[in-house]
Structure 1
Amino acid sequence: MDHKRIEWLFFIVFLLIDIYLGIEILRSPVSLSNADTTTQSVANVRSEMKSDNIDLPAEISNTPASGYYLATKNRDYLSSKVSVLTNVDAHYSKTDNILYATPKLETILDKDSKKALKQVIEFKNDAKNVPYGKAFKYEPDMSSSDNYVFVQTSDYGEIYANSAQLNINVKDDQITNYTETYMGQASPVRELQSTISAWRAIQAMYTDRELTNNSRVTQIKLGYSKLTEVRGSTILLPTWLVWVENKTTKNITLKRVNAYTAQMLQSSVYNVEK
C-alpha cells in the first residue's frame, strides 16, 4: 500500500470517528456550557439523601471539569513482549488479549503495607517483569490486601477499562502472579470540552435510582471509560467514576456516569478486603 493510500485511509477513519462523536454530542441531553443548572439546591438534595440513609463525602465539587474524546488503536501490544520477560514465566492469550505471568524467583514483600506497595511498584516498573509497567498507576480504591490493581495512564487521565488494567496478586506476602491488558497510547480526536461537575453526576445517579438506600459514596474521580469501537479504534470518553458501598454487605459497586451527558454507563461490582 503506497503512502498516499495510507494517508487517505487514516483520513477516512478519523472522519468517521469525528462524525460519530458529533452525533453523540448532538444527542446529549445536557448542555455543556451550562451543565450544572439544577432545580434543587445542593442542601436540599443532601437532605433527601440523608433521609434515605445515603452517606456522601463532605466535599463534592460543584464546578464543571473538562476532558477529551480519546482514541486508541486496537492492536496486539503484548504478545511480542513475552520473549523479553526474562524474570517471569509468561504466556499471552490471543482469545481474551490477556498476558499471564508468574515470577521465576520469590518476591517477598515487607509486612509494612506502604513498603510492600513500594516493592510491588518496583516490580511492575521493571521491563523484565511487566511490559509497559510504567504506564500503569496504582488504584487504591480497586485494590485489596491480596490484589494490587493498576490502571493504565495517559497524558489526559487514567483509563478505567478491563482492557487497560494490571492486576498483581499476592499470597503469604509474596507476589504469585499477574494479569495484564494494555490499550496503547491514547490521543484526542476532538477539542477539549466542558463536562458536568462531580455533584451533577451524584444528582443524576440519585435521580436515576442508582444510589440505593443504605449506601455510602466512598470516592468520586474523573477518568476515562470505553464508549465504543470505530474502524479499528477504541473511543474513550470522560467519566465520573463513583464508588458506592452497600452498608450491609460491604460490596462495592463502581458506577460510571458519562461526564458529558450525565447518563449512566455500565457498572462493575466487586469485593474489597482492606
Structure 2
Amino acid sequence: MGFKRIEWIFFIAFLGVNIFLLNIFQASKSDQMIVSPESQKIPIEQRLENDEIRYEGTLSDQSLTGYYLSAKPATMQSLYTEIKKNNSQLLSDGETKFDGTRLIHQTMDKFIVPEKEDLVAASQTYWKKSVMRGDEYTYQRNFSTLSDEKIEIVATQSYEGIPINDPSSQLILNFAKENEEYVNTNYSQTFVSNLTPLRESMSLYTEKEAIATLYSNNRLPAKSTIEWAQLAYTLILNVRGQNVYIPAWIVSVKKADNSRQLEVVNAFSNRIITNSSVRKVENY
C-alpha cells in the first residue's frame, strides 16, 4: 500500500472522529437547553442558602479551557518489557500480575508508614521511585479514601494540570492498619499513552455554572453538603481501542442522611452526564 494512500486513510479516519465529536457536542448543547440555569434570576449562592445546602469557601467563576483528548490504554506487560530494557531492577521488589491493561504489584518487603499523616508523602516518594512511569502520576486528594475503614491512595495521569478521572489511568495504593502502623498490601496500575488533543482548546463552563445546573435539575437535595468539586477528564467514547476524554466537573454531595453521591457535569456543554455510558465505535 502506497504512502499517499495510507496518509489519505488516516486523514479520513481523523475527520470522521472529529465529525462524530462535533455531533455529540451539538446534541448535548440542545439537551441542556431543557433546563437552563441562566433562566434563574436569583444568584445560585442565595438559592443554596435558602435550601440549607452547605459548601466551603466560594463557588469559582474562573473561566478555563480544555480539550477533547485521545489516548490509548497501554498493555501493561508490553509497557513493562519496554521500560525494563533500561531498568533491570524494575518491579524486582515483589510479585507482579499482569492482566491486559492493568497490573497488580505486591512487595516482598512490606512498605510500612508509621503515621497516618505521612501516608501521602511516603506513597508519592515510593511511586516516583519504584512504579513504572511513576513521575507521570499526581496524587488526587478528592479521589482518595483516608478513613478508619479504608485507606486508598489514588494518583492519576494529567493533561496540562487537569487530572484524568477514569480507571484507565490510575495508580491505587491500598493500605491496612497493623499494630498501629499502616502497611501497603499492594498497588494496582493502569496507564494511557499518547495523550493527544483532537481539536483546539475550548472554553469550559465554570464550577459555579456546574453547581447551578445540578441545583436546577434537583441533584442537590435540601440540607445536603457539597463536599468538593473537581475538574477532571472523564471517558465518554472508545473508538477502535482509542479512548476519548472530555473535561467534566465531578461533584461530591453528602446528603442529610450521610449518604453520598457523585455527580458529573460535562464542562463543554454544562449537561449532566452522571449516568451516561461510554459509547463504543468500531466502524466510522
TM (norm. structure 2) is 0.81
Rate the CA distance shift 1:205–1:119 in 2: closer, same or farther, 3 A: same
Q: CA deviation at 1:3?
A: 4.5
User: d(CA) in 2 for partners of 1:212 and 1:37?
Assistant: 17
Rate the CA distance shift 1:163–1:57 in 2: closer, same or farther, 3 A: same
Q: Deviations over 1:198-237 (max 9, x none)?
A: 1110111111111122311121222211111123321111
Q: Deviations over 1:142-173 (max 9, x none)?
A: 22232111122223521011111111011121
Q: Residue 21 of structure 1: SS of its match in structure 2? A: helix
Gaps of 5+ in 1: 31-35, 269-274
Q: Residue 105 of structure 1: SS of its match in structure 2? A: coil
Matched, 1:22 2:22: yes
Matched, 1:257 2:265: yes
User: d(CA) in 2 for partners of 1:112 and 1:74?
Assistant: 33
Aligned equivalent of 2:152: 147
Q: How does 1:164-183 map to 2 (within 5 A)?
A: 164-172=169-177, 173-183=182-192
Q: CA deviation at 1:28?
A: 3.7
One-letter amino acid of the structure 2 residue matched with residue 252 of structure 1: R
User: d(CA) in 1 for partners of 2:265 and 2:142?
Assistant: 17
Aligned equivalent of 2:245: 236
Matched, 1:12 2:12: yes
Q: CA deviation at 1:77?
A: 4.2
User: d(CA) in 2 for partners of 1:199 and 1:241?
Assistant: 12
One-letter amino acid of the structure 2 residue matched with residue 90 of structure 1: T
Q: Residue 186 of structure 1: SS of its match in structure 2? A: strand
Q: How does 1:153-164 map to 2 (within 5 A)?
A: 153-155=158-160, 157-164=162-169
Matched, 1:88 2:89: no
User: d(CA) in 1 for partners of 2:39 and 2:109?
Assistant: 60
User: d(CA) in 1 for partners of 2:58 and 2:45?
Assistant: 11
CA contact (8 A) 2:73 2:168 kept: no
Matched, 1:223 2:232: yes
Q: Deviations over 1:232-255 (max 9, x none)?
A: 321111111212122432x43332
Number of residue equivalences: 256
Gaps of 5+ in 2: 31-35, 85-89, 277-284
One-letter amino acid of the structure 2 residue matched with residue 121 of structure 1: Q
Matched, 1:51 2:54: no
Q: CA deviation at 1:68?
A: 0.9
User: d(CA) in 1 for partners of 2:39 and 2:102?
Assistant: 46
CA contact (8 A) 2:210 2:249 kept: yes
Q: 2:125 aligns with which of 119, 122, 125?
A: 122
CA contact (8 A) 2:138 2:157 kept: yes
CA contact (8 A) 1:254 1:267 kept: no
Aligned-residue Cα RMSD (Å) equals: 2.5
CA contact (8 A) 1:253 1:267 kept: no
User: d(CA) in 2 for partners of 1:5 and 1:134?
Assistant: 39
Matched, 1:192 2:198: no
Rate the CA distance shift 1:150–1:98 in 2: closer, same or farther, 3 A: same
User: d(CA) in 2 for partners of 1:2 and 1:219?
Assistant: 53
Rate the CA distance shift 1:5–1:253 in 2: closer, same or farther, 3 A: farther
One-letter amino acid of the structure 2 residue matched with residue 54 of structure 1: I
Rate the CA distance shift 1:52–1:232 in 2: closer, same or farther, 3 A: same
CA contact (8 A) 1:214 1:248 kept: no
The alignment-based identity, stated in percent, is: 25
Q: Residue 17 of structure 1: SS of its match in structure 2? A: helix
TM (norm. structure 1) is 0.83
Q: Residue 170 of structure 1: SS of its match in structure 2? A: strand
